[in-house]
């Protein structure tokens, strides 16, 4: 096998592995564990970016989330505004099935999303229809020392990472 074939196989293996490994979000040492139903009720705002893994292109966005918790289901109405002028609204419904475990739905999610607490981090996995394709998201959410929330996600198709998302969310005072 030539060195170019070995290099190509190495690149392919790293891409395959990149999607299989959930994103790392080191929980801040002084920050408490993230509890979704405690963080999200009220208004939350955020700034984020999607980065295409193949082209390096970025798509920036902001989001306003109105959250409510009824004792069993966390509802998150998300209003997105993209830098290119597009807007979108999505609504998560995350039902707590036991402490630290959730099953969720959203308009574009295929099947059920699943979320679980892992130490101070909440993991969220789901598949979404985008442009006629189903892509897989693997999110990791954790609190920062300043009370903000960092959400890092990998986006994959057929085991290959096609992109990543980084989003920082902040609670709006008084909400």
Every domain of the chain and the residues it spans: 3-171
Query: Which of 154, 157, 111, 150 is CA-nearest to residue 134?
Result: 157
Question: Could you read off the pLDDT tens digit of each residue along the chain, which spans 175 residues?
Answer: 433 333 333 333 344 444 445 566 555 556 789 999 999 999 999 999 999 999 999 999 999 999 999 999 999 999 999 999 999 999 999 999 999 999 999 999 999 999 999 999 999 999 999 888 899 999 999 999 999 999 999 999 998 999 999 999 999 987 6
Largest CA distance in the chain: 64
d(CA 68, CA 52): 32
So what CATH class is 3-171? mainly beta
Tokens of 41: 């009720």
d(CA 40, CA 141): 12
Number of Cβ within 10 Å of residue 46's Cβ equals 19
Q: CA dist 22 to 12, 25, 140, 151, 155, Å?
A: 17, 9, 7, 12, 10
Q: CA dist 58 to 36, 52, 83, 123, 169, Å?
A: 28, 6, 10, 24, 19
């Amino acid at each position: 096998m030539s060195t170019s074939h070995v290099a190509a196989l190495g690149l392919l293996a790293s891409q395959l592995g990149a999607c299989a490994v959930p994103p790392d979000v080191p929980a801040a040492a002084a920050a408490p564990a993230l509890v979704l139903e405690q963080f999200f009720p009220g208004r939350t705002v955020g700034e984020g970016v999607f980065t295409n893994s193949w082209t390096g292109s970025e798509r920036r966005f902001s989001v306003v989330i109105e959250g409510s918790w009824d004792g069993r289901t966390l509802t998150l109405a998300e209003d997105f505004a993209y830098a290119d002028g597009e807007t979108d609204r999505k609504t998560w419904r995350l039902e707590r099935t036991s402490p630290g475990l959730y099953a969720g739905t959203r308009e574009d999610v295929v099947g059920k999303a699943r979320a679980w607490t892992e130490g101070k981090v909440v993991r969220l996995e789901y598949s979404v229809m985008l442009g006629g394709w189903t892509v897989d998201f693997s999110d990791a959410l954790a609190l920062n020392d300043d009370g903000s929330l960092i959400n890092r996600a990998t986006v994959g198709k057929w085991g290959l990472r096609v992109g990543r998302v980084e989003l920082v969310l902040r609670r709006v005072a008084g909400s």
